[in-house]
Chains A and B, each alone.
Chain A
């Protein structure tokens, strides 16, 4: 059943990618991330501890460990070139991570090694940003309301869980990546990596609770390829 969905989805994407070929340099990889099986039922977040946040939601928002969409699509999956592409210099633009309504926006933030990371607090309460890296340097900073954004950098590629010590439910992820070829699946679970120079690549999809999957692809010229990922979902 799910497979069938995935195949259909794949065809749809093929059609779509035909248009995408219009891109000037390099090839394009597009695709969709889906799951099979029954994913865990996300529970509503109980914010009763922090009324200033709780009152921002008509109904309690759901936890974001596993976010699914129509057609078994899977959100918050970062798809990137894990091998084959040279490391890129960090872009000058900063990646911004916002704390709003006692949640992280976005839930998963992908950015490059040495790229500036800007963390802002739009809430009326103090937050505390505590990323838990394994290879990078660990820090743990509080951000009272009305204080300037925190600016940080990471010099090693890593998937870093982020938590707020003050609000236990606040969890997010930093995906620190070596090169600029990456995308994070949003609603619909689709992604697209453009401007890939010809070459042989390992393309990897990573999800915070479903782990990662990799596929080998070879891009020649400006061709458009489709790569789909299917994760196994567990009910618990």
Chain B
């Protein structure tokens, strides 16, 4: 039984690690300027964690193989060094790992959260609601109309509760169900939640940020590749959560300008 268990453990370790080693589940293409930091961090962690995982399982397997079904009078041995080695090992190996990963890991985090957006970053407002994202561009005047929750009229496409009747800034605001941005241009996304908590997740951008009702956050990123990517909600927001998605449409500067012109008609 012990031998069998050992074999199973080895198989488990190998089969669990194989898909990762063979890269059956590759990370999506990285279209952000900071993504490579996260990817390399993930790669390093995977390496260390993988070694620890396989190592532990194999050791467990070996000990099972060696020390099960022994005769009742078989001599009991203690692991050389005893507990002290274990503690020291844990502190050395894990401790250094912790510090290393902890320290390096913060770089990616810092570039996302601590570096302020450039002054010329493209200002776009994102509103998350049950169960869609809407994006607002300030229009020619470069100013956003104020949000009036009581004026929201979705049947009439007024998702933000704009008041064009009384506010000039609101009249030229462009609202789109698709996040269209120019390539290689920093975007400062101001995040507003209309009803509940939502989240903005684009795998390729390596960006995930919650929308917090009552707390308007901003996150900034630069897309480096033209194409269409999925924006999904990762924060449980109600019955349509699974279906809450939009598209990130990265266009060349010209196409983007063209699109903007069409919209402002």
Contacts and interface: CB of A to CB of B under 8 A. Distances in A.
Nearest to B152: A168
Interface size on B, as a range, is 20 to 34
A96 interface: no
Nearest to A128: B239
Interface stretch (A46-54, A78-86, A222-230): A46-54
A168 B178 CA distance: 14
Interface size on A, as a range, is 20 to 34
A75 interface: no
B246 A65 contact: no
Interface string B53-78: 00000000000000000000000000
A126 interface: yes
A48 B165 contact: no
A81 B245 CA distance: 45
Interface string B162-188: 011100000000011110000000000
B176 A166 contact: no
Contacts of B177: 46-49
A123 B141 CA distance: 40
A235 B154 CA distance: 17
A46 B178 contact: yes
Interface string A155-183: 00000010101111101000000000000
Interface stretch (B116-124, B126-134, B215-223): B126-134
A165 B240 CA distance: 7
B157 A45 contact: yes
Contacts of A90: none
Interface string B228-252: 0000000000111001011100000
Interface of A: 40, 42-43, 45-50, 63-65, 125-126, 128, 142, 161, 163, 165-169, 171, 208-209, 234-236
